[in-house]
Amino acid sequence: MGNRLDGKVCIVTGGGSGMGRACAIEMATQGGRVVVADINEAAANETLEAILAAGGEGIVSVCNLRNPDDIRGLMHLAADRFGGIDVLHNNAAVHETDLTARTSIEELPEDIWDAVYEINLKAIWLAIKFAFPFLKHSQRGPAIVNVASTGAFVSYPQAGAYCATKGGVLMLTKAAAVDLAPHNIRCNCYCPGAIDTPMVKKYYEAAPDKDAIMSVLTGSHLIRRLGKPEEIAKLACFLASNDSSFITGAAYVIDGGTLAWRGTHS
């Protein structure tokens, strides 16, 4: 067990799988008291079991991020259980390929666009809004860590809604950093490339030409592989910790070198 987040109360949305699970476990390993928030209770409990098995501390909150009352309740649960909130990690996201086979811009159903927007962007704004009354009283160095994407900078096939919302996350992060600075609350985001998560696997498997999509996913990586959730978790913990106390409004790219050149090997 480390102590980078010693005693901090950390909320991780989408903590039941993928990067969220890795981040929740790493935050607990670094001494954080973690609230694993996910719509999938079984998946969230699996994450909690891993946290407890490693000697960490945490609880589960079943949360539908399309429901503002659930988001508000998540904040109150964390504060009631642990006495406050120190870290808000807005990790949860969906991709249109999670929800429909009609993913191109001209075919994407309006309700799918709305779902991606509500989970990927609106829920982050609401989480910040509802966490603020608790974060502003934190004595441990309050921090918000959002997850954007390389899709905030460049586009990918069949990902119009995803990329648009991730671009929004990037600018929401900067706006929150400005507005919350008087309260000593830092807000940063990180922008992953293709990471070995269930979302990426589903995106790949839904593609008609899997080889072409895998080329898009990893062909532009200078480090020629998918990223690992555990690598993401190390960065998330740094941004959540007081080791990054002079960093706010920043967007950290963790993409295997993709945005260094954004080329694609054939």
Q: Reading across the β-sheet that carries 57-62, which strands appear in turn?
A: 57-62, 33-38, 9-13, 87-90, 143-147, 186-192, 251-254
Positions marked catalytic: 162
Calpha distance 235→239 (Å, rounded): 6
Where would I find the beta strands (DSSP E) of 33-170? 33-38, 57-62, 87-90, 143-147
C-alpha separations of 183 from 85, 92, 215 in Å: 14, 25, 44
Write the CB contacts of 238 (distance below 8 Å, at least 6 apart in sequence).
4, 244
Calpha distance 56→218 (Å, rounded): 34
Calpha distance 70→64 (Å, rounded): 6
Where would I find the beta strands (DSSP E) of 157-199? 186-192
Where would I find the beta strands (DSSP E) of 172-250? 186-192
